[in-house]
Structure 1
């Protein structure tokens, strides 16, 4: 820190919001240190000599008259090897390192700790003297974990000719690995790590259309409401509907290369469960711990509210860094409602004019800016990368008409509405098939036709129509009872029950059902359609629903998710044989 920098002076303290005088030389969004404890903050308002700062640490004990020191740079992250397998707070300070300093609480004024600067990494340099490197190019590799290779990137704002290269070997993230000279004859020293401001999206060559689904192993998502790789999704739901559990399943089983999981304002016990469970989970692709490709960011509800606001940007900046290496990244934000509440609290302390329900008027634009950082792109270095953002929303009382849910719905393409009545009936994932939708069905249809089955999307649409029809019939059943319905409508009710209980309901604690490959998902739904069509043949012959329904066959359909192994689908063919045998007897009886 330069001693000759002009410092501000604290004039007022309002929780995490600090006002200071003598701040004419400060810049908007500049990172500063506040008071004798050197708390980390960010300039958010400048009015002449007076500046307003939001502080990312507890301000208890801070006094007016203490100094505010500029750093000359915006709030930035140090991006490099050492982030995977790590757990950070909302401003990228490693929690394990903080625990060594203070085992119980996060102390104030510990500074902007980051990834380990002492650890040696085996670097392999892939360029030589005289090579021309463009912004975003890869100049070397480091085996960051057993399953992920960190591809060392030229920062997006630097390019030039290589003039010096170190030999392959073990280096820290602060060691200079190569030097390049740009067109202005300026020399830039490139290390394993570089810094990037969290509120500035990292640039890319261009955005691609999202034509491949993110495979999650969850039937209700993969077949009924698919998420595109590089797309956006929201999971809204009231308390107890399973938002966190659904996101855990997506984090565990999605086919993304990298997982960035943000616990934004969630209860401490939920984040403790994540921190304890994730290292024990075995990644089905590698056989190693899932933490080998995961970054956890924990900003619980008892941590400083301003850091909660920053945690979302911290997570998406880390995601963009791995995307720029050419990886597919899935980012889980749990929950964006707590982030919006942090915006509301800070806005209130700034005495800004409130909009609906007290949220700031700029809430929609902030939500849009966040989800806009998702996408499937060509990187500056010429690789394909993507970020899929899946945000949980926690509307108070499960009211989807509140501002955060309504505005999120405007900017995401998949809406997985969690239903309280389904959750209370122990139907998980409690995704309501009537309120949910996916805007990616059309653009992903070619992929499903080529990689699953030609009729996959048509089959999905047909089954959804049955569920919609069943919903209308249930209103009649509540008024007059099921017995008065004609047989064809009663058959729809029976098949819809199989779809709901045997297909859409999925058990996260069953080893066969926690993750289901796409071929089994399709085969299960095709078998249900086969039963439905056989029943319709019987109805045309005048066979009543009571005889069409074989209790044993129906029970097998409901249990096939458990009884038929994921790697051996011959049981579904045997089930079809039983259907044929059952209906052959009935058809002969009624044809005669």
Structure 2
């Protein structure tokens, strides 16, 4: 249905920012998409009462006035799904920003009506069904090479099933061309094209959820070793201004072993989003040496865009992720940041004069947060393939106060909490994830995978590392009060080894070729070396020798620098560090 095709007698009664009301009408349904005003701005019905119907408008309402028409469409807010999503940049309601810029310049015009995908472009289609086949929702009927990295699978809409009665030849088709005709049980014929529509606030159906058992490998030591996340899992990155939330998500987008990345910039600063767009356009996928954008879709919704569109951007992103998950891909969605989304809910709730809860947020904030994170899963799809969506959401608590409602409610619904620390960020310790405040509940789920694919020692080493860090944390409380000179050498050793762990293992340099990404085997070997240093140093102290002499040998500094000195493609060099430690201790004796 095109804009302006509908006869209409519904008009605006009142306007309050992005909230518009229509009086005395029964033309609308809950969550129905509507067009508002003469410019036909996109909106959604969010409340229906006997006298008033309330609509939130996803575009600027400047220029609207009472008496302007409101057009129903009879369908919910939906996104267009098909080839061409990858390598694209959309706003929060799936309008392609590159095409809009070419048409109307740097600013999006009110009521801008640009197709989400290029309807004129042709795609090479290979059909995989024949006449007489019975197809059900989710089954694949053809493939399209969307990019060099991703094979796009054309799937029957989950709401449709029937018998194939006609199949066209393999070849070049536009998105609107039909390639298969299907007859359902009622005898109605449906033409299957290269695209389908899906409402953004309805989760796409699956066959069943599968147990979470495979880690999302990021190459970031503090995450993979201390606080791992699973494919199909959820993580939150809370942190104050300047602590590195966006940088951490950039590293994860570039290096994690997901097949497809969906990056949602929700209410972020315009300059920051510009930097994201430029950087992602230039990045090379380290695994394939192809442009990273070939497996990435960006949704840019800056802080000066209409506030209601922030809410839509989150749902648009997760729906695109579910579509590629249904093809059997593993998708990681980066939401930066869900605090801006929650602020949009608060503003609209205030304009609706709803009863506020804590700090003015609406009472339904927890349920909205949970609905979003619950769409993450490792699943068996309707077409019997396996896929996953991993959600990594940044949270921006004001004043880095983790007790505020968005952080606390997010913490309830995620199983991985990577708390960014302002002090670590100020001393240039990146990733600035505080190992005392962070946690991951996936260790038990992933233990079998680590034991089988890396080594049974991996999690044992990880536990020993966390014990040393916890011991250092307790000792530093004493040091702050009375200084380190009063500590015995065995306790000073804990502090020195923990320093090696902090600087040589947890701190990572995103600009160093060997340190920006570290494979799990190297991470385990580095832990072996650090723990061996701790063991041999303890044995050395039992002989009555001074820790000061051991520190002067320089072996602690050498172990700290091994992250730079040992290349990722020659991990065997780490074996020489065991002899190096033995030699350093032997020389002192």
- Per the normalisation by structure 2, the TM-score is 0.98
Match of 1:559 among 558, 561, 564: 561
Cα distance, 1:508 vs structure 2: 0.8
Which of 256, 263, 266 is the matching residue for 1:264?
Answer: 266
* Structure 2 CA distance for aligned equivalents of residues 109 and 187 of structure 1: 34
Cα distance in 2 for residues equivalent to 1:389 and 1:579 = 42
What do residues 158-195 of structure 1 show as CA deviations (whole Å, max 9, x unaligned)? 01111110100000111111011122222111111100
TM-score norm. by structure 1 comes to: 0.98
Partner of 1:470: 472
CA contact (8 A) 2:12 2:22 kept: yes
**Which residue does 2:521 correspond to in 1?**
519
| Corresponding residue number in structure 2 for 1:239 | 241
Equivalence for 1:273: 275
Q: CA deviation at 1:49?
A: 4.1
Q: Is 2:18–2:308's contact at 8 Å kept on the other side of the alignment?
A: yes
* Counterpart contact for 1:38–1:111, Cα < 8 Å: no
Separation of aligned partners in 2, 1:167 and 1:3: 34
Q: Does the CA contact (< 8 Å) of 1:134 and 1:154 recur in 2?
A: yes
* Superposed displacement of residue 549, structure 1: 2.4
Query: 1 CA distance for matches of 2:230 and 2:9?
Result: 49
SS of alignment partner, residue 210 of structure 1 = coil
Residues 444-490 of structure 1, C-alpha deviations (whole Å, 9 max, x = no match): 01111111111111110110010010011011111121111111111
Deviation at 1:5, TM superposition (A): 4.3
Which sits farther off after the overlay, 106-115 or 411-420?
Answer: 106-115
Task: Give the conservation status (yes or no) of the 8 Å contact 1:24–1:50.
Answer: no
Q: 1:36 aligns to what?
A: 38
State how 1:194-273 maps to structure 2 within 5 Å.
194-273=196-275
CA contact (8 A) 1:57 1:304 kept: yes
Q: Which SS does the other structure have where 2:235 is aligned?
A: strand
Q: Which residue of 1 aligns with 2:330?
A: 328
CA-CA distance at 1:111 after TM superposition: 2.4
What whole-Å deviation, never above 9, does each CA across 1:94-123 have from its counterpart, x for those lacking one? 000110111121110112631111110000
The Cα shift of 1:577 comes to 1.3
What residue number does 1:441 align with? 443
Secondary structure of the residue aligned to 2:124 is strand
Give the Å deviation of 1:325: 0.2
Q: Distance in 1 between matches of 2:572 and 2:31?
A: 61
Match of 1:176 among 175, 178, 185: 178
Point out the more displaced range, 504-513 or 493-502. 504-513
Question: How many Å apart are 1:551 and its aligned residue?
Answer: 4.4
Judge conservation of contact 2:6–2:71 (CA < 8 Å) in 1: no
Q: Report if aligned partners of 1:223, 1:521 keep a CA contact under 8 Å in 2.
A: yes
Q: Check the 8 A contact 2:8/2:70 in 1, yes or no.
A: no
**Cα–Cα, structure 1 residues 150 and 4, in superposed 2: closer, same or farther, change >3 Å?**
closer
Superposition deviation, residue 93 in structure 1: 0.3
The 8 Å contact of residues 7 and 22 in structure 1, kept in 2 or not, is answered as no
Q: Is the 8 A contact 2:553 2:584 kept in 1?
A: no
What SS does the corresponding residue of 1:18 show, helix, strand or coil?
strand
Cα distance in structure 1, aligned partners of 2:553 and 2:284: 38
Classify the secondary structure of the residue corresponding to 2:449: helix
Contact 2:96–2:114 (8 Å) recurs in 1: no
The unaligned stretches of length 5 or more in structure 1 are none
Which residue of 1 is the match for residue 406 of structure 2? 404
User: Aligned residue for 2:140?
Assistant: 138
After alignment, is 479-488 or 361-370 more displaced?
Answer: 479-488
Contact persistence 2:139–2:155 (CA under 8 A)? yes
Q: 2:298 aligns with which of 296, 299, 316?
A: 296
Q: Note the C-alpha offset of 1:547.
A: 2.2
- Helix, strand or coil for the counterpart of 1:484? coil
Q: State the partner residue of 1:113.
A: 115
C-alpha contact (below 8 Å) 1:5/1:70 kept by paired residues:
no
**For 1:543, what is the secondary structure of its paired residue?**
coil
Structure 1 position 284 matched with structure 2 position 310:
no
Q: Deviations over 1:520-570 (max 9, x none)?
A: 111111110110011111122222211232442222122111111110123
Larger displacement relative to structure 2 (174-183 or 121-130): 174-183
Match of 2:380 among 378, 385, 408: 378
Q: Which runs of 5+ in 2 are unaligned?
A: none
Number of residue pairs matched?
587
Q: Is the CA contact 2:100–2:114 (under 8 Å) kept in the aligned structure 1?
A: no
Shift of 1:127: 0.4
Give the superposition deviation at 1:285.
Answer: 1.5
Task: Kindly indicate whether the alpha-carbon contact (under 8 Å) linking 1:7 and 1:23 is maintained by their aligned counterparts in 2.
Answer: no
CA contact (8 A) 2:322 2:389 kept: yes
Tell me the CA shift for residue 147 of structure 1: 0.5
Secondary structure of the structure 2 residue equivalent to 1:82: coil
Q: Secondary structure at the match of 1:110?
A: coil
Q: Which sits farther off after the overlay, 533-542 or 226-235?
A: 533-542
Q: Distance in 2 between the 1:570 and 1:311 partners?
A: 46
The aligned residue for residue 125 of structure 2 is 123
C-alpha spacing 1:484/1:149, structure 2 compared with 1 (3 Å): same
Query: Runs ≥4 in structure 1, deviation > 4 angstroms?
Result: 1-6
CA change 1:551–1:300 in 2 (3 A) is farther
Aligned counterpart for 2:461 among listed residues 455, 459, 475: 459
Q: Which residue of 2 aligns with 1:316?
A: 318
- Kindly indicate whether the alpha-carbon contact (under 8 Å) linking 1:39 and 1:111 is maintained by their aligned counterparts in 2: no
Residue 487 of structure 1: aligned partner = 489
Q: What is the distance in 2 between the residues matched to 1:555 and 1:585?
A: 17
Q: Which residue of 1 aligns with 2:368?
A: 366
Please give the alpha-carbon distance, in whole angstroms, between the structure 2 residues aligned to 1:535 and 1:543: 10
Question: What per-residue deviation string (whole Å, max 9, x for no partner) do you get for residues 237-273 of structure 1?
Answer: 0001000000000001100000000000000111111
1:273-307 deviations in Å (ceiling 9; x for gaps) = 11101121111121100000000000000011001
Distance in 2, Cα, partners of 1:128 & 1:40: 40
